[in-house]
Amino acid sequence: MRPETRARVLKAIEELDYTPAKSARALRRQRTQVIAVLLPDISNPFFSLLARGVESVAFDQGFSTMICDSNHSSEKESRHLDILRAEGVEGIVLVAVGQPDMRKVERLLRRNVQVVSVDRVVEGLPTIGADNKGGSNALTKHVLSLGYERIAYITGPQEVSTARERLAGFLNALELAGRRPVTAQCGHFTYESGYGVAAKLLKEFEVEAIMAANDLMALGAINAAEEAGLRVPEDLGVAGFDHVSWAAFVRPNLTSVEVPAYRMGQVAATQVLSAELRETRLKTKLIHGGTCTACHQFR
């Protein structure tokens, strides 16, 4: 092309304020260059970090990301799956609310839309998860090594795979040490449920430490303990799981296991975008060893 022509074209672009229209391009090429991340609650710091991880990878590869919030509702999740199909996204990173609507998911897969589950195991989908069992196991061993003997556990809903895995890791470590938990009771991964379960538990049992399946419940347990007149960590040790950012500001500090949400998002996005994938069906993949961090919560 003659430099002069080139200059004229550039000038026209400038004057007409031209930008190629993505929707036309998408129609013609049958590729939108958009992926989505569909999660239960973007205002939960764990999920929003995960979303950032997805976005960072997509952005680098020239993809846009739609972040969709199912608001903890399976129905809204299902509607979002429809919308995303119509929207023509090329892949979906899914943090499912319970078991997702597999009919919808399969329709997407048939259209060659990559769907990868993160954090929670979904039957029939490749899953990117942390090593919940291993992390819980390591944390429990750490707690035992500090000399705690009478330990209670607050677990999450048993339909959620992460809750089951963390409980399993805990029980396994105890068993290896030839011990049994004082009690294991079920919460809902919320602050309130942690508070409620701990308050009840502290009345009925004599415990030296409480381990919870996530930080929010652990925080509830701390507050319940202090209201029961117990000093933490002098009278009662408390541990959580997730190592969410604000936990670092909580006083007294919370012992926890780091779950690398950002990296999990990155890995999931990479899987979704990787072309190889279009051939091979993936297996579940573990990220990180579930490192046990900060330990100020224990005497």
- 225: closest CA among 236, 241, 211? 236
Q: Which two tokens stand for residue 281?
A: 């069906």
Which strand ranges, in their side-by-side order, compose the sheet holding 127-130?
64-69, 34-39, 91-94, 114-118, 127-130, 285-287
Whose tokens are 């992460």? That residue is: 162
Facing residues of 286 across strands?
A: 129
Residue 66 interacts with a copy of itself (CB under 8 A)?
yes
Residue 25 interacts with DNA (CB under 7 A)?
yes
Residue 20 interacts with DNA (CB under 7 A)?
yes
Q: Which does 5 bind (CB under 5 to 8 A by kind): a copy of itself, DNA, none?
A: DNA
**Which range binds a copy of itself by CB under 8 A, 45-53, 182-190, 266-274, 286-294?**
45-53
CA dist 255 and 122 (Å) reads: 29
Residue 112 interacts with a copy of itself (CB under 8 A)?
no
Residue 64 interacts with a copy of itself (CB under 8 A)?
yes
In one-letter notation, the amino acid at residue 146 is L
**Which range binds DNA by CB under 7 A, 12-20, 58-66, 104-112, 186-194?**
12-20
CA dist 299 and 294 (Å) reads: 12
Residue 258 interacts with a copy of itself (CB under 8 A)?
no
Residue count, binding to a copy of itself (CB under 8 A)? 45
Positive or negative CA dihedral for 262, 43, 158, 108? negative
| Cβ proximity to a copy of itself, 81 vs 139, nearer residue | 81
| Cβ proximity to a copy of itself, 68 vs 143, nearer residue | 68
**Which range binds a copy of itself by CB under 8 A, 78-86, 132-140, 148-156, 197-205?**
78-86
Pairing of strands 209-212, 127-130: unpaired
Q: Cβ distance 112 to 89 under 8 Å?
A: no
Q: Which does 246 bind (CB under 5 to 8 A by kind): DNA, a copy of itself, none?
A: a copy of itself
**Which range binds a copy of itself by CB under 8 A, 127-135, 176-184, 222-230, 274-282?**
222-230
Whose tokens are 């895995």? That residue is: 165
Residue 275 interacts with DNA (CB under 7 A)?
no
Q: Which does 231 bind (CB under 5 to 8 A by kind): a copy of itself, DNA, none?
A: none
Residue 43 interacts with a copy of itself (CB under 8 A)?
yes
Q: Which does 1 bind (CB under 5 to 8 A by kind): a copy of itself, DNA, none?
A: DNA
Run of H or E residues at 282: none
Mapped onto helix, strand or coil, the DSSP state of residue 151 is strand
Least Cβ distance, residue 72 to DNA (angstroms) = 31
From residue 236, alpha-carbon distances to 141, 183, 222, 223, 226 in Å are 17, 15, 9, 12, 9
Nearest-5° angle of CA 283, CA 105, CA 61? 65
Rule CB under 8 A: which residues touch a copy of itself? 17, 19-24, 26-27, 32, 41-45, 48-49, 51-52, 55, 64-69, 82-83, 85-88, 107, 110-111, 191, 219, 222-223, 226, 245-246, 249-251
Rule CB under 7 A: which residues touch DNA? 1-2, 5, 18-21, 24-25, 27-30
